[in-house]
Amino acid sequence: MDEIVELRWRLHRSPELAGSEAATAGVMAAFLGAQRPDGLLAGLGGRGVAARFDGPEDGPSVLLRAELDALPIQEAGDGPHHSERPGVAHLCGHDGHMTFIAGVASRLARLRPPRGRVWLLLQPSEETGEGARRVVADPRFREIDPDWAFAIHNLPGYPLGRVLVREGTFACGSVGLLARLHGTTAHAAHPELARSPAATVARLIPRLDGLADDAATSNDPFALATVIHARLGDMAFGTTPGEAVVCITLRSDSEDVLGRLRDAAVAAVSEEAERDGLGWETSWVEPFSVTVNHPEAVAAARAAAARLGLEIEELEEAFRWSEDFGEIIRGRRGALIGLGAGEEQPPLHAPTYDFPDALLATGIDLFCALLDHLLGSSGTQRP
Ligand SMILES: [Zn+2]
Ligand SMILES: [Zn+2]
């Protein structure tokens, strides 16, 4: 385990943002390559890395996934393993998730499953919602095309090592809408000569914030619309504004409701802009699809947790946050599994968050127990 903790610290010291995970991918490709896999893919959907470990007999293929990217947030604290990059840090625990995968790889190096095939995937750009989609769209993903797929996400606020499962929606889908309004400026002394978006923005903000109430009248399905940014003109006191930007994040545990929210948001922007004679355009940012767990994959996760004697919690509601693993498990037997990171642990993305090393062995054991459950556990010892 010392080597595994050292790897987690090494990854934590050198975090990289979505889309620029070259060094992290290099570290992980080198680690996986040293475990003598039967195949190794690099540059998958960008910076993705995937290692293949074959059992001697035919059988199903199982993909286990972790994420390569860190966050654009300054970490608090200056321990020996803390981030050495100003303004960038592993505050979602992806360093820990990568280390789970490394631990599984080192076990597979010694002990292949008796049948089937294991793919260990390090996926880029999770935080921006782009990575999983790109990995699946990479033509080489056809070679992987797993029968089963699992990812574990650590969850602060839950007891350390508790396994959290849910059939159906595990995490909401979400998408950002960026709306631009185009009018014309005039002197502040002559607002009647301008086409100002000021009143449009003032009407749009409450209308957009209220969209979810129309889309979902109860909590089932869940829907939420949050205006997260608005800007009007410039701080030029002699000028009536001519331009504005409004940004909103939409989320739901239902793809249908999310689709309706998207349509309603664009309709609100176009109607309010046209009412004031403004030009308008919209674009979508960071789309995450709903993460929907397959019942059979959740059953496998329960069985794996039970093998290890871990506490299991069935979640009553889906998480409001989004994860892009839904792209990988869409149409296959897959599940995103929660793993408690400690009740005292600061929340994900908080500047004081740090992945608990005490959870590393549990995550590795849980992934290995899933492989044992699905591929058999007698194992083939390698020389
Ligand atoms: Zn995150
Ligand atoms: Zn994360």
pLDDT per position as a tens digit, 55-89: 999 999 999 999 999 999 999 988 899 999 999 99
Strands (E), the chain: 39-44, 48-54, 57-67, 111-112, 115-123, 148-155, 163-165, 168-171, 173-182, 186-187, 223-232, 239-240, 243-252, 279-288, 291-293, 312-314, 333-340, 380-381
Give the ligand at the shortest distance from the Cα of 348: 1
Ligand 1 centroid–CA 128 distance in Å is: 9
pLDDT tens digits, 135-164: 999 999 999 999 999 999 999 999 999 999
CA distance 289 to 286: 10
Ligand 2 centroid–CA 165 distance in Å is: 16
Ligand 2 centroid–CA 127 distance in Å is: 7
Ligand 1 centroid–CA 153 distance in Å is: 9
Q: What is the β-pairing status of strands 148-155 and 333-340?
A: parallel
Ligand 1 centroid–CA 256 distance in Å is: 24
Ligand 2 centroid–CA 209 distance in Å is: 26
Q: Which amino acid is at 355?
A: F
Ligand 1 centroid–CA 273 distance in Å is: 34
Q: What is the β-pairing status of strands 291-293 and 168-171?
A: antiparallel
Closest CA to 328 of 132, 140, 151: 132
Give the ligand at the shortest distance from the Cα of 347: 1
The three-state secondary structure class of 268 is helix
Ligand 2 centroid–CA 153 distance in Å is: 7
For residue 44, list its beta bridge partners.
48
CA distance 245 to 179: 6
Ligand 2 centroid–CA 150 distance in Å is: 14
Token code pair at residue 15:
């975090």
Give the ligand at the shortest distance from the Cα of 71: 1
What is the full per-residue pLDDT of the chain (383 aa) written as tens digits?
699 999 999 999 999 999 999 999 999 999 999 999 999 999 999 999 999 999 999 999 999 999 999 999 999 988 899 999 999 999 999 999 999 999 999 999 999 999 999 999 999 999 999 999 999 999 999 999 999 999 999 999 999 999 999 999 999 999 999 999 999 999 999 999 999 999 999 999 999 999 988 766 556 789 999 999 999 999 999 999 999 999 999 999 999 999 999 999 999 999 999 999 999 999 999 999 999 999 999 999 999 999 999 999 999 999 999 999 999 999 999 999 999 999 999 999 999 999 999 999 999 999 999 999 999 985 555 54
Ligand 2 centroid–CA 324 distance in Å is: 9
CA distance 51 to 33: 8
Ligand 1 centroid–CA 63 distance in Å is: 21
Distance of CA 346 to the CA centre of its chain: 18
Ligand 2 centroid–CA 215 distance in Å is: 28
